[in-house]
Amino acid sequence: MEQEFDVILTGTDGPIEGIARKVTLSDGTPAYNFESIDETVHLVVAKHDGEWIRVGGTDPYLIGWADELVEKVSQQNLL
């Protein structure tokens, strides 16, 4: 069963509402995919060398979004 949950990220003009889903990258790495409700923001984070990093998504993006998404995932006890 796919794990998905509502997430709100902090944008420069206000909150960005979206859905985060647990996904698996083509190399088998577990990751989290965030897509905003209005489809303007897409962010993919995965663990690399013990650190969660942005591995894909739309540009431009805020550097803090990767950390914020991982924090929201952690709050859901999904890490």
Q: What is the DSSP letter of 59?
A: S
Task: Give me the number of domains the chain comprises.
Answer: 1
pLDDT in tens, 57-79: 999 899 899 999 999 999 887 76
Q: Residue 56 is part of which domain span?
A: 4-75
> Coil, strand, or helix at residue 72?
helix
Q: Strand, coil or helix: what is 1? A: coil
pTM confidence score = 0.89
**In the structure encoding, which two tokens stand for residue 17, read together?**
């509402």
Confidence of residue 1 (pLDDT cuts 50, 70, 90): very low
